[in-house]
Amino acid sequence: MDSTQMNRGSLEGKDRDELTTIATALGGKPGSRARKAEIVDLILELAGGAPSNGSEPTNGSSQPVAEDDTGGEAEAASAEEPPAEWELAAEAEDAAEAKESADEEAKKDSGHDEGGDGRGRQDRGQQNRQGGQGGQGDVAEPGNRRRRRRGRDRDHGPEDPWDGEPVDVVGYLDLRVEGYGFLRTVGFKPSKKDAYVSVKQVRQFGLRRGDHLVGASRPANRSEKNPALLRIDQVNGRDPEQAKDRPRFEDLTPLFPDEKLRMEIDGDPTDMTARIIDLLSPVGKGQRGMIVSPPKAGKTTIMKSIVRSIETNHPEVKLIVLLVDERSEEVTDMRRWLQRGEVVGSTFDRPSDEHTQLAEVTIERAKRMVEYGEDVVIMLDGITRLSRAYNLAAPATGRIMSGGVDSGALYPPKRFFGAARNVEEGGSLTILATALVETGSKMDEVIFEEFKGTGNMELRLDRRIAERRIYPAIDVNASSTRHEELLFERKQLNQVWKLRRVLNGLANDGDASAAAGLELLIDRLKTFNDNEEFLVEIAKGPNMGA
Looking at the structure, tell me whether residues 325 and 374 fall in a common domain. yes
Contact between residue 227 and residue 195 where contact means Cβ atoms under 8 Å apart: yes
Is residue 132 in a domain? no
Please report the pLDDT score of residue 121 as a whole number: 41
Do residues 470 and 518 lie in contact, with contact meaning Cβ atoms separated by under 8 Å?
A: yes
Does residue 439 sit in helix, strand or coil?
Answer: coil
Domain span including residue 222: 167-246
Q: Same domain, yes or no, for 191 and 289?
A: no
Same-domain pairing of 180 and 323: no
Phi, psi of 423 (to 5 degrees): -100, 130
Q: Tally the domains of the chain.
A: 3
Q: Is the peptide bond before 269 cis (omega within 30 degrees of 0)?
A: no
**Cα distance between residue 264 and residue 343, in whole Å:** 23
Q: Are residues 241 and 279 in the same domain?
A: no
- 402 and 466 in a single domain? The answer is yes
Asked if residue 284 and residue 235 are part of one domain, the reply reads: no
Looking at the fold, whether 273 and 219 belong to one and the same domain comes out as no
Name beta bridge partners: 186.
Answer: none
| DSSP symbols for 138-180 | -TT--HHHHHHHHHHTGGGS--PPP-SPPEEEEEEEEE-TTS-
> What residues have CB less than 8 Å from 518, skipping those under 6 apart?
465, 470, 473, 474, 476
Instruction: Give the containing element (helix H, strand E) for 318.
Output: strand 318-326
The set of residues, in sequence order, having a beta carbon less than 8 Å from that of 258 and lying 6+ positions away, is: 284, 422, 486, 487
Are residue 259 and residue 215 in the same domain, yes or no?
A: no
Alpha helix (H) ranges present in 317-431? 328-337, 352-371, 383-393, 411-418
**Does residue 490 share a domain with residue 376?**
yes
Give the end of a domain, one of 246, 267, 288: 246
Note whether residue 265 is domain-resident: yes
Task: Work out the pLDDT band at 73, boundaries 50, 70, 90.
Answer: very low
In a domain, 49, yes or no: no
Q: What is the pLDDT of residues 440-474, one digit of tens each?
A: 999 999 999 999 889 999 999 999 999 999 999 99
Examine the pLDDT at 107 and tell me if it is beyond 60: no
pLDDT grade for 510, boundaries at 50, 70 and 90:
low
Cα 320 from Cα 307, distance rounded (Å): 9
- 207 lies in the same domain as 317: no
Instruction: Give the count of beta carbons closer than 10 Å to the beta carbon of residue 496.
Output: 21
Please enumerate in sequence order all residues whose Cβ is within 8 A of that of 460, keeping only pairs 6 or more positions apart, or say none: 292, 293, 474, 475, 478, 479
First to last CA, the chain: 106
For residues 540 and 495, the answer to whether their CB atoms sit within 8 Å is no
Q: What is the pLDDT of residues 174-189, one digit of tens each?
A: 999 899 999 999 888 8
The string of DSSP codes covering 9-68 is: HHHHTS-HHHHHHHHHHTT----TT--HHHHHHHHHHHHHSGGGGTTHHHHHHT-SPPP-
Confirm whether 315 is domain-assigned. yes
Q: Per the domain annotation, does 472 fall within a domain?
A: yes
Let me know whether 456 and 525 are in one domain. yes
Residue 330 inside a domain? The answer is yes
Quote the crossing angle between the two packed helices 411-418 and 352-371, to the nearest 10°. 30
Helix (H, G, I), strand (E, B) or coil at 290: strand
pLDDT of 85? 46
In a domain, residue 345? The reply is yes
Which range, of 337-341, 405-409, 542-546, averages the lowest pLDDT? 542-546
d(CA 463, CA 169): 48
Asked if residue 150 is part of any domain, the answer here is no
Q: 235 with 269, same domain?
A: no
SS3 per-residue string spanning 199-244: HHHHHHHCCCCCCEEEEEEECCCCCCCCCEEEEEEEECCECHHHHH
What does the pLDDT look like over 1-32, one tens digit per residue? 444 456 777 788 788 888 888 888 888 888 87
CATH code for position 211: 2.40.50.140
By the 8 A CB rule, do 307 and 379 touch? yes
Q: What is the mean pLDDT of the chain?
A: 80
